[in-house]
Structure 1
Amino acid sequence: MLICGGSHNSFTYALKSKWHVAVDQGRWIRRIDCPWVRKTICRWATCQNIDVMRQLMIGVRFFDVRVAIHHPTSNSTISDDFYAVHGLYGERMIDAFRQIVSFLKAHPDELVILDINHFYNFSISDHARLLHVIASSFDSMLCPSGNNLHLDDVTLDMLRQSHRQAIVFYQAEQRTALDTLNVTWPRRFIVSPWANTNSLTKLFAFLERTLAVRDQLLPEGGVFVVQSILTPHAVDVVLHLRSSLQQRIALNTTEQTVKWLRAGQRESVWPFTAAVVLVDFVNFPDFCRTVVNMNLL
């Protein structure tokens, strides 16, 4: 069994409220773009408050990423590049990759998993460029996929012996045609059910239901992601405009997740070969420690 801690919207610690609203937002939000709107989005779209290196140092080994390509206008100060995105533009992807590579070089026995699962404003050539950035950034650290290889066949011992330290999921249809070297893994080897609720009771009921049918959701094996997050509804934001995701929802959710994990640990409901527990604000006390300790049973 391998259970690791993951950060939801991992690279949102650097959302830029001075830049315009990102392309992942609806047209009406982008039409009312102004400093006040951007600051509100920033408070409610920030899901992490420590950078990649600090996340790694406290024990996070799974990164959940949405990415957008920004094509600047003539008067824009933003370069044409890949950025993490969640309402606003965040960390530049190449900078996040560099932090991960730096950590892996310093810790040759560690493994990191990246799940790149949303792509905004992408053309075919943009997908090709991002795949090249991934390949060139991680180089021989990448664990390649293959036509007849299942992720459950890959063991930690195999990875360490071959000096492979990074598994990257690239959840875009274009991957099949463009990733000819199989440096990334396809979406069929990962599943990440989303409760889409702002209720803790409904969240944990949903997580327990999906855990019970894990093998049906992942018939070929792979990584099962437990998204222990609440999603604010529009009314939550409107009624608490001056508050934030962290204050109103996320910290309590992560605290309750730690309690839920400990209860499940006692009841032995984690019989899986590979699972990720995904939360907002991973630096909440005891989250990473609790997940790490689950592997010691």
Structure 2
Amino acid sequence: MAESFVKEGRNVKLDEDDDFADWMTRLSPSCHDVPLNALAIPGSHDCFSYHLNTKGELGPDCTGIIKDVVDIFGSAAKEIIVKWSVTQSLTLSQQLKMGIRYFDFRVAYQASTNELHFVHGLYGPKVEPCLQEIHSYLELYPKEIVFLDFNHFYSMTPDTHNQLLNMLTEIFGKKMCPHIDMDSITLNMLWTENLQVVIFYHHELAQTQPMFWPGCAIQAFWANTDALPKLLESLDCEYAKGRPNNCFYNWQGVLTPGASTILGHLGGSLRSVLTEKANPAFVSWINGKIPTATGLNIISVDFVQLFEFIPTVISLNEKKS
């Protein structure tokens, strides 16, 4: 169940009794012709992991950390793994309604079901119903834009890649924005052409298909640490250096557990041990900054509903006016 969403103190031009279901539609006109890689866009890290199957097999993305846990705890390991693999507790529809517009996806083919699933340590929901869920939302809100980032693939062949590419095309079709010059992709351009979906696909099979954006069109900052001081220090260094202005850029304010963290907190979870200290610090770090083509752009976290992350990100766009 979704937690209550705090709205007090937000600096966004929305009615006080509304939420962020159509925040892009309501952005100030000064944002309408700004390239989208210079707007602040709230994102969801491993957006699908609100449902992972503890009764099924381990996912093909299992890291050495997960394998160590399995070796130590045997059949009880999955209950530990799920607590450290779940990064979101809201469904995709709930995340969309709360304002999330960037979605991070990891896909695997599961032989036992003969289906494509999302995966994070354990197999998650089937891909097609989740994509249909996003499409249904876009039908309700025709001026909202989403970014779908397919950046990790497991146990997939050219045939299963083509299956996924065809699925994406069939579901989103005319809503898909083709790969174009970065300066040209603005809200006004997308609204004029009735486009709502930008799909990044990090595999060579998509490079010849103009409706998909290649992996090089989006870069990401990932500190790869479970220590908050190191995360903040790395963020400061990356921000001071400036990121490339010819692509989208995903700033990830996440802490990543190591084996020692998991084994030292067996009764805990990613949320209780890491996210609940990472998110408020990261929200403080982004607050007051102005999104630019060399600075903040897509900004993603675990458990997106916590610590006013979404309203803080959206409010950054109003500083451009």
Shorter-chain TM-score above 0.5: yes
1:242 is displaced (CA, Å) by 2.0
- In the aligned structure 2, how far is the partner of 1:11 from the partner of 1:46? 9
**AA of the residue aligned to 1:270:** P
- Corresponding residue for residue 213 of structure 2: 185
Q: What is the letter of the counterpart of residue 134 of structure 2?
A: I
Find the counterpart in structure 1 of residue 313 from structure 2.
291
CA distance in 2, matches of 1:98, 1:156: 23
Unaligned runs of 5+ in 2: 1-37
- Alignment root-mean-square deviation, CA: 1.9
Aligned match for 2:102, one of 62, 73, 80: 62
The residue identity in structure 1 corresponding to 2:120 is H
**Amino acid paired to 1:232:** P
Whether contact under 8 Å (2:283, 2:307) holds in the other structure is: no
In the other structure, the counterpart of 1:92 is: 126
User: Which residue in the other structure is 1:247 paired with?
Assistant: 272
Q: 2:49 is matched with which residue?
A: 12
| Counterpart in the other structure of 2:291 | 270
Instruction: Tell me the alpha carbon deviations over residues 28-54 of structure 1, each in whole angstroms, 9 at most, x when there is no partner.
Output: 829759541111110000000000000
Give the aligned partner of residue 76 of structure 1.
none
Partners in 1 of 2:261 and 2:62 — Cα distance? 17
Q: Which residue of 2 aligns with 1:110?
A: 144
Equivalent residue of 1:11, what SS? coil
How many positions carry a matched residue from both structures? 278
2:260 paired residue number: 235
Counterparts in 2 of 1:122 and 1:60: CA distance versus 1, 3 Å: same
Residue 75 of structure 1 aligns with which residue? none
% of aligned pairs identical?
A: 31
- 1:80 and 1:214 mapped to 2: Cα distance? 44
Contact 1:18–1:35 (8 Å) recurs in 2:
no
| Residue in structure 1 matching 2:155, options 106, 110, 121 | 121
TM-score, length-normalised on structure 2?
Answer: 0.82
TM-score w.r.t. structure 1 length?
0.88
Give secondary structure in 2 for the equivalent of 1:290.
helix
Residue 50 (structure 1) aligned to one of 54, 66, 90: 90
Cα distance change on mapping 1:156 and 1:196 into 2, 3 Å: same
Alpha-carbon distance in 2 for matches of 1:187, 1:204: 26
Once the two structures are TM-superposed, the CA of residue 211 in structure 1 deviates from its matched residue by 2.3
Q: What is the alpha-carbon distance in structure 2 between the residues aligned to residue 285 and residue 211 of structure 1?
A: 22
The answer for the alignment partner of 1:203 in structure 2 is 231
Q: How does 1:70-89 map to 2 (within 5 A)?
A: 70-72=110-112, 79-89=113-123
Specify whether residues 89 and 118 from structure 1 end up closer, same or farther in structure 2 by C-alpha distance, changes over 3 A only.
Answer: same
The answer on whether the counterparts of 2:60 and 2:108 sit within 8 Å (CA) in structure 1 is yes
Q: Counterpart in 2 of 1:133?
A: 167
Q: CA deviation at 1:261?
A: 1.6
Q: In structure 2, how many angstroms separate the alpha carbons of the residues matched to 1:214 and 1:110?
A: 28
Q: Extract unaligned runs of 5+ from structure 1.
A: 73-78
**Offset at residue 272 of structure 1 (A):** 2.8
Letter in 2 for 1:25: C
**8 A contact 2:291–2:317 mirrored in 1:** no
Distance in 2 of aligned mates of 1:97 and 1:252: 31
Amino acid at match of 2:226: N
Letter of the 1:272 counterpart = A
